[in-house]
Amino acid sequence: MNTEKIKKDFPILKRKINGKPLAFLDNAATTQKPFQVINAITDFYENHNANVHRGKYVLSEEASQLFENARKIIGELVGVTPAETIFTRNTTESLNVLAFSLAQQKVLQKDDTVLLSHMEHHANLVPWIQLKEKIGIKLGFVPLKKNSELDLEQLDVLLQKKPKIVSITHCSNVLGTINPIKEIARKVHDANALLIVDAAQSVPRLPVNFKKLEADFLAFSAHKMLGPTGIGCLIGKKELLESLPPFLTGGEMIETVSWEKATWNELPWKFEAGTQNIAGAIGWKVAADYLQKIGLETVHHFEQKIGKKAFDALSAIKEVGLYGPTPSKKCALFSFNLKGVHPHDVATVLDSEGIAVRSGNHCAQPLLRELGADNSVRASLYIYNTEAEVERLVNAIEKTKKVFKV
């Protein structure tokens, strides 16, 4: 994998920030877009723009074909059919749709338990809190071990209480931990529960095959994998998606309507109410092609290699407290605190050096509290980051120490 060559595909990475070349290390929040994706979106609006599925004219047919082909490619990326590939706005919406459809269908009722983990993003926590408040479900949590991995012995104990749903992240956006989803799926299914996987951080950087993972549902977003914002996916086993009611209604998701009654279109359109993000899907398809060309196995190996370098370099700074497991168990994502300096101050000094990192609670307030931290700095690497940028990060942390007299 040639990082320098890849970098040239990303126009924004030519920018200077505060007089320094941009080192974009906030990829867990969103990734940058290659010109191939930007051009595909522009080409759609310049040459093919029309609403899909509705017109019997050339542009509408072209737009429909591009849109449905995008669905096919995104589905293939995770090994599923177009019928199992539902477009949403993002991972958060996918998880909300699922939670509320499961409740509407009474798969989840008062006193049923949903099992989550202590490393969930708010997107995989708050919809369930909503159901707790609205219909009285109960929540359970798989704790973490000291090494920042999920405590699977505790999962076994919690599964004995017969939860209906287990919803777990594949890869933590705070710790970087990659969870053994297949092993978890087997345990969950032995307990007759359904498994939902938040794959927002894993699909961009690991080979993810829905069938091989043995999950029941999967959610992820385009913008974290070189695609545009405003589009994501809900993947599900066909028979389960068929059994669930739509969450939003109107538009393409309709089959027939009378004044008093409506029936639903077939999958996947049943869950796609109103005009979809057509240009977004087309851009996402090109992003998926781009990643497939590199190969997600290659992306994973690259992250392991650069991640080990970053881990060693950050661990060598004695004032840096790193969170998360050892490098082989995680992606190239590093949350840390610099002793005595607020994370926002660290991020500000890093920004003065042209380095973009995130600081805050990373939409995982309960986890940060468990870590005793409230906030942290997070540097998350992706395919266009270099070892030279890791060195710049380390040097900028050294500068921060001087600025704050640590």
Active site (catalytic) residues: 363
Residues 65-104 that bind ligand PLP (CB under 6 A): 90-92
The amino acid sitting at 363 is: C
Contacts of 379 (CB under 8 A, 6+ apart): 25, 26, 310, 333, 334, 336, 357, 393
Nearer to ligand PLP, 141 or 404 (CB): 141
Of 196-204, 242-250, 273-281, 318-326, which segment contacts ligand PLP by CB under 6 A? 196-204
Member of 31, 101, 113, 173 binding ligand PLP (CB under 6 A):
173
Residue 29 CB burial class (10 angstroms; 0-12, 13-18, ≥19):
middle
Nearest-angstrom CA–CA distance, 111 and 106: 12
Nearest-angstrom CA–CA distance, 118 and 80: 29
Residue 355 CB burial class (10 angstroms; 0-12, 13-18, ≥19):
buried
Nearest-angstrom CA–CA distance, 37 and 48: 15
Residues 105-124 that bind ligand PLP (CB under 6 A): 121, 123
Shortest distance in whole angstroms from residue 254 CB to ligand PLP? 26
Give the number of other CB atoms < 10 A from CB of residue 107: 15
Handedness of CA 167, 173, 179, 182 (dihedral sign): positive
* DSSP 8-class letter at 260: S
Residues 245-284 that bind ligand PLP (CB under 6 A): none
Instruction: Give the count of residues interacting with ligand PLP (CB under 6 A).
Output: 15
Strand-pairing partners, residue 359, are: 377
Percentages helix, strand, coil for the chain, rounded to the nearest 5?
Answer: 45, 20, 35
Shortest distance in whole angstroms from residue 271 CB to ligand PLP? 16
Interface with ligand PLP includes 26 (CB under 6 A)? no
Interface with ligand PLP includes 201 (CB under 6 A)? yes
Binding mask 353-392 for ligand PLP (x = CB under 6 A): ----------x-----------------------------
Shortest distance in whole angstroms from residue 119 CB to ligand PLP? 9
Binding mask 306-345 for ligand PLP (x = CB under 6 A): ----------------------------------------
Interface with ligand PLP includes 221 (CB under 6 A)? yes
Contacts of 247 (CB under 8 A, 6+ apart): 96, 97, 100, 101, 104, 271
Nearer to ligand PLP, 91 or 400 (CB): 91
Interface with ligand PLP includes 195 (CB under 6 A)? no
Of 3-11, 13-21, 195-203, 277-285, which segment contacts ligand PLP by CB under 6 A? 195-203
Residue 292 sits at the vertex; the CA angle it makes with 290 and 297, to the nearest 5 degrees, is 125
The CA-based dihedral angle spanning residues 198, 217, 158, 110, taken in that order and rounded to the nearest 10 degrees = 110
Nearer to ligand PLP, 32 or 400 (CB): 32
Nearer to ligand PLP, 216 or 353 (CB): 216
The amino acid sitting at 285 is: K
Nearer to ligand PLP, 123 or 244 (CB): 123
Interface with ligand PLP includes 169 (CB under 6 A)? yes
Shortest distance in whole angstroms from residue 277 CB to ligand PLP? 13
Which residues bind to ligand PLP, rule: CB under 6 A?
28-29, 90-92, 121, 123, 169, 173, 198, 200-201, 221, 232, 363
